[in-house]
Structure 1
């Protein structure tokens, strides 16, 4: 479901991205610090670790009193709590479960219109998106949609590509490429630090 070819083998230990919730650490599943770590004892993070990597960016940046939580920490949590899917990466339920466990407010977004996504980003949310075949993946891949930009485009944090995380994306394109799955709140979740009054219809 989320197997990816790993990135360029760099270490991104100093990369910070600007988001609607504030500065966020960038993690890459192909980072030399953990690319070969076996998720679930079997599957390399470089190929199967986008779920834990995406979650770790949020958790390290906005909770846990600033203590660094690496993708390996979240991969181990996922395995221990039943969210690791052998040869597929992570069950979709990992996203709401692990983020809620670490203190986030997580709500499924059923209105996938660009207008609704823009409204959520403008009100201080980050969106976790499960992408289908298209610009970012050939099968399935978790990314963070991090900020609405002044020109109406958005920035993202792609656990498999730092390059993708440093350029602008058209929101209608991303909403159109969401994976067509609807379990556990997928394919789109709105994440914030507290209960929001926003309508996520």
Structure 2
């Protein structure tokens, strides 16, 4: 038998028979408490569902993307391992890995770090698809001093529409993060190996979107962080500490830049804001 009880009946029970009132309302109160506890999870899930279903298609209509997924490089040889710590080394300061040398010391993050590799970038794992936010976390912390990491940056980028489902990041992630965190961002356009060396030796760093070659078998964001005295390029590769401790021929970098020209791709120079 199903009983339907209205507000008037509950009011009478409340004043005349409190045990009956408590018995009638207890299931409702328990259900409400459960829903309240799950509210945070529902809101978070709903946010990413809305981003996936509505915000992302709007971006996709305007912007193509080179899919990025962590992979072994198509080519295995190319970089020259650096053994002289005066050129560059990976050290630790206050618990943070740092790549020395180059234009500036770079706070290094690996997307495969156990602290965040299984954390979400939208609905994808950072370890597989998070080279974009990992590179931008390196750039932001190194150039502005703002404390961040791949997990925090991935969450920010997903909320702001830069996560490309099962493809990594939309290329507009670079300009978007730079604008939000107070960095100057200049798409490079077409340039020569000599021009690349000149820009990097002048105190700037660059975000580079690479195609299949020595850094990936698909698409991959890396950071170009300076030059050696011989004119080789220093990088910070979020998918390889070894490649981050090698010197690279400038022409190799130029040749393996993505063919995409979407949202400033494939190369963006970053510098501190003039007002800084």
TM-score (norm 1): 0.89
**Corresponding position of 2:127:** 46
**Corresponding position of 1:81:** 160
Q: Using the alignment, how far apart are the partners of 1:194 and 1:84 within structure 2?
A: 25
Q: Using the alignment, how far apart are the partners of 1:104 and 1:20 within structure 2?
A: 18
Larger radius of gyration: 2
Aligned length: 187
- Contact (CA 8 Å) 2:143, 2:271: kept in 1 or not? no
Following superposition, the deviation at residue 184 of structure 1 comes to: 0.6
Following superposition, the deviation at residue 112 of structure 1 comes to: 2.6
- Contact (CA 8 Å) 2:102, 2:228: kept in 1 or not? no
Q: Using the alignment, how far apart are the partners of 2:227 and 2:102 within structure 1?
A: 7
Q: Aligned-pair RMSD on alpha carbons?
A: 1.5
Counterpart of 1:176 (choices 255, 270, 273) is 255
Q: Using the alignment, how far apart are the partners of 2:148 and 2:142 within structure 1?
A: 9
Matched, 1:31 2:113: yes
TM-score (norm 2): 0.65
Q: Which runs of 5+ in 1 are unaligned?
A: 7-11, 196-201
Following superposition, the deviation at residue 111 of structure 1 comes to: 2.5
- Contact (CA 8 Å) 1:5, 1:46: kept in 2 or not? no
Q: Using the alignment, how far apart are the partners of 1:92 and 1:67 within structure 2?
A: 22
Q: Using the alignment, how far apart are the partners of 1:48 and 1:135 within structure 2?
A: 18
Q: Using the alignment, how far apart are the partners of 2:162 and 2:101 within structure 1?
A: 27
**Corresponding position of 2:267:** 188
**Corresponding position of 1:134:** 213
Which is richer in helix? 2
